[in-house]
Structure 1
Amino acid sequence: MKIQQLEIFTIDLPLIEPFIVSYDTYPSMPSIIVKLTTECGLVGWGESVPDDHVTGETIESTYAVLKHKFAPLLIGQNPMNFEAIHDLLDKAVKNVPAAKAAIDIACFDVAGKKLGVPVYQLIGGRYHEKFPVTHVLSIGEPEKMAADAEERVKQGYRSFKMKVGRDVTSDVKRIQAVRKRVGDDIAIRVDVNQGWKNSGATLQALDALKSAQLDWLEQPVVANDIDAMVEIKSKTTVPVMIDEGLCNMRDMREIIAKRAADKVNIKLMKCGGIYPAMKLAAMAEMAGMECQIGSMLESSVGSAAGFHVAFSKKVITSVELTGPLKFSQDIGNLKGSYHIPFIELGTGAGLGVDIDEAILAELTQYSDVVKA
């Protein structure tokens, strides 16, 4: 089996409501979809959601790398040779993990279809039967976030990931308001997205939140300040999760060596796809750290890829892959697998996602084809 053609689509996924994090507000979510076709007519789908604050890539740069660097290299390659494909991409361009993720995901999708098995069967088999779905609360005024949380509890959600990171004082009020509204039996995870900057501000916030019963605190400080994470972890009983500070195996080595986190958030867009994510999970398991599979708000394609990794690994104990629930239009049908408060992944070949190419065409802003 050889790759004959790659099509690249830049799309804009419409959000039901704006997604607000510490460093930006997204009225919609830009994404790049890759359609890989083999000489035997099989099709694999991949996705890239770059983030200049996290992966160091933009939509424009990612599109250019995929079109001019990666696609020409891949023509004639066997998409089932995952190690060789990644080696080829790594030698062509340093870093650019979100661009590599699109290729990686498409290769796994088409490999699964060739063999007639789900992707998780290619990477260890199915371990988890279902995962709880955590609702992500965008940054807003305290009462608005609390009201949203209360409504979601009525819908069946039992856990929340709160986006904060504007300033310690207002963030503490947000967290306290949500806790007061939902009661003590609902899990609250706080994601600061680097917004508290340093260990001093973070420890001040944690001191004010002693009664909030947080499940864990995610990436409170700037991504490259691993030593600050070490200090915070040593001075709090709240489990600490690292996200933006973990992109690759080099980062993971430092995190393990310094015991800088209790949990790690693995995202396919940060590490380069399914294959590198499995390597990071294995390293975390060796070090006794639990893993989460997170997302950059991908469509059904990227979200399904993340779920296949999560469902295959014992060390992955939580997921935060809610993109399909937040879009008013999606190119795939993964939304049907969410049965709040759980997601139950299907058994279809490859990613198990059906693509609506009419919606893809409607959402496409520009596209290109590279073929043999």
Structure 2
Amino acid sequence: MKLTAINVYNVDLPVAGGYKMATTSVSFLQSTVVELVTDSDITGFGETCPVGPVYQPHHMLGARAALEEIVPSLIGLDPRNIGQLNRAMDAALNGSRYAKAAIDIAAWDISGKSYGRRVCDLLGGATGETIPTYYSITVASPEEMAREARERQLEGYPRIQLKIGGRDVEEDIETIHRVKEAIKPGMRVAADANRSLTTRDAIFLSQRCRNISMVLEQPCNSMDEIAAIRNQLCHPVYMDELAEDVSDVMRAISNGLVDGFGMKLTRVGGISALRTVRDICEARSLPHTCDDAWGGDIIAAACVHVGATVAPTRFEGTWIAAPYIEGNYDEENPVLIERGRIKVPTGPGLGITPDRSKLGSPIMSFG
């Protein structure tokens, strides 16, 4: 099997209701979908969708420029040799893992279809037919965030992530206390600052909330800042944006900076890289998520497949953007949330086939 063509598509993703974090707000995104075409009549799809240009050093135009640089060197390769394919991408362009992730996802899709197996089967096997998800509550007033937390618990979500930061720390402290009062015992809580807190405010918030069971996710902007205050915090610390690749994950673990991770699939380079992170975390008994910053059914399916292979005791869930997006790429096999859980796709590969009318014409074609 050889790659004969690679097509790149733009898909508009309006963000219903908007999405606000400490450092950015988004109301409209453009996702980049990649199609790998082979000489065996098997195609695979991948996707990458940065949530704006400031959440991470990723942006939509950067992903497309990187793909234009990388893709010509991949024509003629066997996409099932995923390790070799990733080395060929690295030889063509340094960095830009979030763009390469779309190719990696598509290669896993092709491999699954070629062998007649789901991606999760190729990754070691699913732990069940469904996996847990979690709901991310965007920055709003303490009263609004508490109300939404209670509603999401009633809907069946086992975990919520509270977006904090970008405002007076006293309002964040009040929010956390109000949320804790609003929900019943059993719901796990993560307070996610998206790198926005000063070391002073991170200490202040954690100590003022010391009696509340929660995770403090990505409180500060650098590993050095987290290292400086680690012993003064009262809560487990999860790393998210700073875990940019496998090397960063290993550094954070070896330096004792974290108790878990919020992992983004495209950020680290795709399914292949996230599988490595999964295995490292299993070796050190560290919990983590398997999700992404944004995207449609393709990214959602990829995250669900990896998440399905994580030991349940270490799995914090897979976040997908479905609650904020209208419609699906594949209306017959959509990736949906029901009662706080997501069904693992059952078809070979990723288990979804995008409706080509929703992709439109390619914005770039190679081969």
Place the TM-score, normalised by the shorter chain, in its bin: over 0.9
1:355 maps to which residue? 354
**Post-superposition offset of 1:269:** 1.4
Structure 2: 5+ residue stretches without partners: none
SS of corresponding position for 1:104: helix
- 1:177-214 CA-to-partner distances (Å, cap 9, x unmatched) read 22222244422211110010x32210101112123322
2:178 maps to which residue? 177
2:107 maps to which residue? 107
Structure 1: 5+ residue stretches without partners: none
Does residue 1:7 correspond to 2:30, yes or no?
no
Does residue 1:43 correspond to 2:43, yes or no?
yes
**Post-superposition offset of 1:316:** 4.6
**Post-superposition offset of 1:231:** 4.1
Which has the higher mean CA deviation after the structures are superposed, 301-310 or 230-239? 230-239
2:150 maps to which residue? 150
**Post-superposition offset of 1:335:** 4.4
2:193 maps to which residue? 192
1:227 maps to which residue? 224
SS of corresponding position for 2:143: helix
2:118 maps to which residue? 118
Amino acid at match of 1:351: L
2:58 maps to which residue? 57
2:315 maps to which residue? 317
How many angstroms apart in 2 are the aligned matches of 1:280 and 1:186? 26
SS of corresponding position for 1:221: coil
How many angstroms apart in 2 are the aligned matches of 1:160 and 1:335? 23
Maintained 8 Å contact 1:54/1:270? no
How many angstroms apart in 1 are the aligned matches of 2:229 and 2:129? 34
Which has the higher mean CA deviation after the structures are superposed, 155-164 or 30-39? 155-164
1:330 maps to which residue? 328
SS of corresponding position for 1:37: strand
1:306 maps to which residue? 303
Amino acid at match of 2:310: K
Does residue 1:274 correspond to 2:271, yes or no?
yes
**Post-superposition offset of 1:339:** 2.0
1:213 maps to which residue? 213
How many angstroms apart in 2 are the aligned matches of 1:129 and 1:263? 25
How many angstroms apart in 2 are the aligned matches of 1:30 and 1:143? 32
SS of corresponding position for 2:211: coil
Q: Aligned residues: percent identity?
A: 25
1:370 maps to which residue? 366
Instruction: Please report the TM-score for the alignment, with normalisation by the length of structure 1.
Output: 0.92
1:236 maps to which residue? 233
How many angstroms apart in 2 are the aligned matches of 1:10 and 1:107? 19
Maintained 8 Å contact 2:157/2:339? yes
Amino acid at match of 1:367: I
Amino acid at match of 2:90: D
**Post-superposition offset of 1:55:** 4.2
Instruction: Please report the TM-score for the alignment, with normalisation by the length of structure 2.
Output: 0.93
Amino acid at match of 2:321: G
Which has the higher mean CA deviation after the structures are superposed, 154-163 or 304-313? 154-163
Maintained 8 Å contact 1:34/1:46? yes
Amino acid at match of 2:330: G
Aligned in 2, Cα 1:129/1:238: closer, same or farther, shift over 3 Å?
farther
How many angstroms apart in 2 are the aligned matches of 1:191 and 1:138? 10
Deviation >6 Å, runs of 4+ = none
Does residue 1:259 correspond to 2:260, yes or no?
no
Amino acid at match of 1:234: N
**Post-superposition offset of 1:40:** 1.4
Amino acid at match of 1:93: L
How many angstroms apart in 2 are the aligned matches of 1:288 and 1:157? 24
Maintained 8 Å contact 1:55/1:98? no
Maintained 8 Å contact 1:337/1:345? no
Aligned length: 363
Structure whose residues are more often strand by fraction: 1
Amino acid at match of 1:53: V
2:343 maps to which residue? 344
